[in-house]
Amino acid sequence: MCSMAGTALMFERLNREERGLVEHRLPRDAPSRPLVAVTEATRGGALWLVAAAALALRPGRCRVGARDAAMAVAAASGLANLSRRLLVRRRPAARDLPAHEALAHKPTSPSFPSAHAAVAAAFTTALARRTGPAGLAAAPLAAAVAYSRVRTRAHWPTDVAVGIPEGVLV
């Protein structure tokens, strides 16, 4: 098992590597309003749970898919937040950047892994397993959420890259 100091050192190295990518490859200006709205609406799994409630109104596979997706949202959120307590990583330094200032809620918790990405992947995967088409329809929104977390500088790219498979596997 890695020591806390070893984990911190690993994340510092990773942060240095990713800093160049983030600073030179992503726009610094404010992201589009729809992208910001998506990232804000999915805070705490809210949008996903509303979607599950709406799907639960339909009988059959949609209702079962909604149940599974809601359970996956809860599991992914819990796992991501537990992981953050064990693997503490600083968020990207983004103060005063228009990309970050666009967020109404500026996260201060550790960043690894991205709970937004984990929950989006968990919802989409669980729904797709049960319903196929409804899950596939959710995939572009899940991808937008994942991208929005990096674009707004709320997360490092690897936070999202680890959050997605974490969500798929719950």
Work out the percent of the chain whose per-residue pLDDT is above 90. Answer: 42
* More confidently predicted of 90 and 165: 165
What amino acid occupies position 117?
A: A
The predicted structure's pLDDT at residue 91: 83
Instruction: Count the neighbouring beta carbons within 10 Å of the beta carbon of residue 11.
Output: 19
Q: Give the domain range for residue 114.
A: 32-89+97-169
Whether residue 60 contacts residue 103, with contact meaning beta carbons closer than 8 Å, is answered with no
157 occurs within a structural domain = yes
- pTM of the predicted model as reported, rounded to 2 decimal places: 0.86
133 occurs within a structural domain = yes
Statement: residue 145 has pLDDT above 70: yes
Residue 97 banded pLDDT, cuts 50, 70, 90: low
Residue 119 banded pLDDT, cuts 50, 70, 90: very high
Specify which of 40-49, 72-81, 83-92, 125-134 reaches the highest per-range mean pLDDT.
72-81
83 occurs within a structural domain = yes
3-53 residue pLDDT tens: 666 777 888 887 777 887 777 677 777 788 888 888 888 988 889 999 999
Helices (H), 42-114: 46-56, 61-86, 98-101
The predicted structure's pLDDT at residue 6: 73
The predicted structure's pLDDT at residue 1: 46
The predicted structure's pLDDT at residue 47: 92
10 occurs within a structural domain = no
37 closest CA partner among 151, 157, 160: 151
80 occurs within a structural domain = yes
44 occurs within a structural domain = yes
DSSP string, 72-86: HHHHHHHHHHHHHHH
78 occurs within a structural domain = yes
Output the CA torsion sign for 107, 110, 112, 113. Answer: negative
Total of domains in the chain: 1
- Helices and strands in the chain, H and E counts: 8, 0
